[in-house]
Amino acid sequence: MDMREVVVIGAGISGLSTAYRLKKEGVDVVVYEKDDRIGGTIHTVKEKGYLFEVGAQTILADQEVIDFLKEAGIEPVEASPSSKYRYIYKKGRLIPLPMSPVEFLKTPLLSLKTKLKVLTEIFKRGVDEDISIADFVREHFGEEFLNYVVAPFISGVYAGDPEKLSLKHATPKLYEAQKKYGSLIKAFIKEKTAGPKGKLISFGEGLGELINALAQKLEVHTENVVLRMRKFEDFFRLDVRGKKVETKSVVVASPAYTSSYLLKEVSFSASEEFDKIDYPPVVVVNVGVEGKFPKVRLLSSESGKKRILGAMFMSKLFPGRAPQGKELLTVFLGGATDREVIELSEEEIENIVERELKEILQIDCIDFMHVQKWKRAIPQYTLGYDRFLNLAQEMEKDYPGLFLTGNWLYGVSTADCIRASKKVAQKVLSFLRPQA
C-alpha cells in the first residue's frame, strides 16, 4: 500500500484551498469527497437561462483573498456598487438602511429614543466576558436597533439567533473593537473598521468557477466517502469507499457533525463534543421574475413577522444571471429561529415565497423557482464556543499529523475558509518538513 503525504477529507472550499496551497509547495496531496460533486455548500446551477447559487452567494474578499484568487489564476467580478444598499421591511413597507449620519438622523426605521441611545453609545464600557450578541446590542444600542438593524444582518450571515450567538466568537472583530474602545461608535470613528471590510465578489460562472479552478489543479476523487480513520504510530489508515489508504497526515475538512464520526476511533470524547455544534437548516429559493422592479438590491424582512429571512436581486448585482428582460431573485428561509421550514414540501415553500414576495415587493409574475434545502446549513458560534476550539487544538497537539479545518473552526464565511487554508497549510508543512 502506498503511503500518501496528505489526505484531505472533503472538497468544500476549506479542503480545496488547503490542498491547493499544499500542492503548490510540492506536497503529495489527495482529496476525497463523499458526494458526486465538489464544492460542499458552494454550488452554482444553470437552468432555463438563469445562473444561480443554491448555497453561498457571494464572497466578501479582503486583500488576502484577492491575492489568493490571483495566485490561483481566477478573475473575480465585483458586485454592482448598489450592493451596499439594504432595505428593511418594517410594518408593511421597505425602509432603506441609513448609510450616513444624516440618513441615520432622518430614518423612520428607528425611534428618537433609539437614535439618542445610539448617539450616547460613545460613553459605554466594553465587556471581557463571553456574552450574546443580543445582550451586547441591547445594552449599547437598545432593543429596536437589535431587531431592525442587527438581527437582519445576523440572519444574513449565520441564519442565526442573536440571543444564542456569542459576540466573541461569531463577531470577533466587533468583540475586539468594543474591548479596546468600550464603544463601537468610538471604534468606528477611530479606526473606521468596526464592520467587515472588503469587496463583494463572485465570478463570471458563479462561485462554482472558483471550486472548479482549484479542483482542476488537484487530485480529487468524488463519490469517495471516508468512513473510518485510525491512528497508528506514525501514520493514519483511512477506509475510503471500500479501500484502505495510508497517509502521514490528514486534514479533516468536513462539517463538525461528520468530522465527529470520523474522529470516533481517534478520540471518542472529543468526537462526541463536536457533534453538539448546532447547524440550523436553511432553504434557498431562486426565483426568476419578469417585469420591472423597485430599486431594491437587497432586503431583510422584519424578523418574526415573515418567513422570508432576506432576499437579493442577484441579477442586479452581477451580469449574466438572468435571461434578457428577467431578473433573478434569491430568497432565504429557515435558520435558527424557523427550523420547521425544512419539514415543508417544495410546493409549500414555493407558496410561502410567492405569497410573501407579492406582499413585500408586489411581485406577481414568476417565471420559475428552484428550491434547495440545506438540512444542516451553517455552524452556530454560540456562547461557550471556546470549548470546541480548545478541543480541536488539543486534538491536533495530541495526535501529530491530524489537522482539523472548516467553517466551524475558523469563521463561517467563504473568505474565512480561504484565509484559514493558509494557516492550516503552514501547520501541515511544518509537520511534514520540520527542518525546512
Ligand X SMILES: Cc1cc2nc3c(=O)[nH]c(=O)nc-3n(C[C@H](O)[C@H](O)[C@H](O)COP(=O)(O)OP(=O)(O)OC[C@H]3O[C@@H](n4cnc5c(N)ncnc54)[C@H](O)[C@@H]3O)c2cc1C
- Contacts to ligand X by CB under 6 A: 9-15, 32-35, 40-42, 55-59, 225-226, 253-255, 258, 262, 282, 284, 374, 377-378, 406-407, 412-415, 417
Return d(Cα 259, Cα 381) in angstroms, integer.
17
CB nearer to ligand X: pick between 289 and 417:
417
Q: How far is the CB of 186 from ligand X (least distance, A)?
A: 28
CB nearer to ligand X: pick between 150 and 201:
201
The residue among 271, 337, 279 whose CA lies nearest residue 307 is 337
One-letter amino acid of 56: A
Contact 18, 424 (CB under 8 A): yes
- 414-432 vs 63-71: helix crossing angle, rounded to 10: 70
The residue among 226, 191, 216 whose CA lies nearest residue 9 is 226
Q: How far is the CB of 223 from ligand X (least distance, A)?
A: 9
Q: How far is the CB of 53 from ligand X (least distance, A)?
A: 8
Return d(Cα 151, Cα 49) in angstroms, integer.
34
CB nearer to ligand X: pick between 55 and 142:
55
The count of C-alpha atoms lying within 13 angstroms of the C-alpha of 143, restricted to the half-sphere facing its C-beta, is 0
Q: How far is the CB of 413 from ligand X (least distance, A)?
A: 3
Q: How far is the CB of 218 from ligand X (least distance, A)?
A: 14
Contact 418, 65 (CB under 8 A): yes
CB nearer to ligand X: pick between 59 and 95:
59
Q: How far is the CB of 123 from ligand X (least distance, A)?
A: 35
Q: How far is the CB of 324 from ligand X (least distance, A)?
A: 26
Q: How far is the CB of 376 from ligand X (least distance, A)?
A: 9
CB nearer to ligand X: pick between 15 and 206:
15
CB nearer to ligand X: pick between 179 and 376:
376
CB nearer to ligand X: pick between 117 and 316:
316
CB nearer to ligand X: pick between 32 and 181:
32
Cβ-proximal residues to 63 (8 Å cutoff; 6+ apart), any chain: none
Cell of 338: 424557523
Q: How far is the CB of 63 from ligand X (least distance, A)?
A: 16
Q: How far is the CB of 44 from ligand X (least distance, A)?
A: 12
Cβ-proximal residues to 421 (8 Å cutoff; 6+ apart), any chain: 14, 17, 18, 20, 21, 68, 405
Q: How far is the CB of 119 from ligand X (least distance, A)?
A: 32
CB nearer to ligand X: pick between 114 and 254:
254
CB nearer to ligand X: pick between 96 and 411:
411
CB nearer to ligand X: pick between 9 and 322:
9
Burial label for 427, CB within 10 Å (0-12, 13-18, 19+), is middle
